[in-house]
Amino acid sequence: MTCDYIENYELRNHTTFKIGGLAQRAFFPETTDEFCELLQTLNNPVILGNCSNVIVSSKGIEQDVILTSKLNKFESVNNILTAQCGVKVPMLSKEAESLSLSGLEFMIGFPGSVGGAVVMNASAHSQAVSDTFKSCRVFDICGKKVIELNKDEMHFGYRHSLLQEKNYILLDAKFELRPAPKEEITAIMQRNLDFRKDRQPSLVLPNAGSIFKNPPNDSAGRLLEKAGVKGLRQGGAQVWLGHANFIVNVENATSKDVSLLMNKMYNMVKEKYTIKLVPEVKFVGIKSKEEEDLWDTMLNQK
């Protein structure tokens, strides 16, 4: 295998939550070919991008881990931006701005990478990945081959894409943007940044973004605030005082602390409104029996 790896890699250093145990082997491919070779040869690896919407187990991950942070190339041709899966989306947003291309302004404050943004059809401020998405290349784990998918084939929905249904791993994606005055694009991006500054914690307070998805025609943050979860604390994890749909790592929180706190939030909304919130963050790695039960409750809507 041509790609180097690091043994016993400390994953907490790589996550925006600053939570996570060891990966037995962590691979950092620098080219799409290296990435595909790893996907062909490793047995059921865990693929991680910028680790901005995941809770990595404090007990670590048993499988091999592939981190896409070095797959960070992008290019522009005729209003189409092509970006590898590891490109950080604020960087792509800034590139579009520099080219006077509109459509990615909403990404400016996101901490994630292109891979995660496409998988979950990230959205904000009335813009979504699916608005400008043209096509992508994915590696089909079952078929062991690279295939191309167009927008219609991606089954985009709210926080959803085909990549959540199939064992496909995003390699790169194309976004078709529209020319617009640069000053207009810059103004929209600044408004988006100002909005986020007031309503979302910066990564100075380690966090994983929104914890629960918005239910249909409602806001998870509103329901959680009305249920009285702001300021709740479990171990080193606390519900942010600025917005009830964020958990911040205030004192060396563990994945168990966050899971227990999420379960409290889930139950308080369920008891007050009989609404069962669905987690937006993903749990990755080894679950203790208690964590298994907590996530089973939230994911299976018990």
The residues annotated as belonging to the active site are 159, 210, 280
Which residues, listed in sequence order, are joined to residue 136 by a DSSP beta bridge? Answer: 149, 173
Report d(CA 174, CA 181) in Å as an integer: 22
For residue 223, what are the CA distances in angstroms to 53, 58, 150, 184, 269? 21, 29, 36, 34, 6
Report d(CA 199, CA 197) in Å as an integer: 6
Q: Of 42, 174, 179, 66, give the one whose Cα is nearest residue 114.
A: 174
Q: Of 53, 192, 65, give the one whose Cα is nearest residue 119.
A: 53
Read off φ and ψ for residue 70, nearest 5 degrees.
-90, -5
CB neighbour list of residue 228: distance below 8 Å, 6 or more residues apart: 268
Residues 282, 262: contact at Cβ < 8 Å? no
3-class secondary structure, 52: coil
Question: Residue 165 is encoded by which pair of tokens?
Answer: 């249904």
Q: Of 288, 216, 209, 192, give the one whose Cα is nearest residue 245.
A: 209
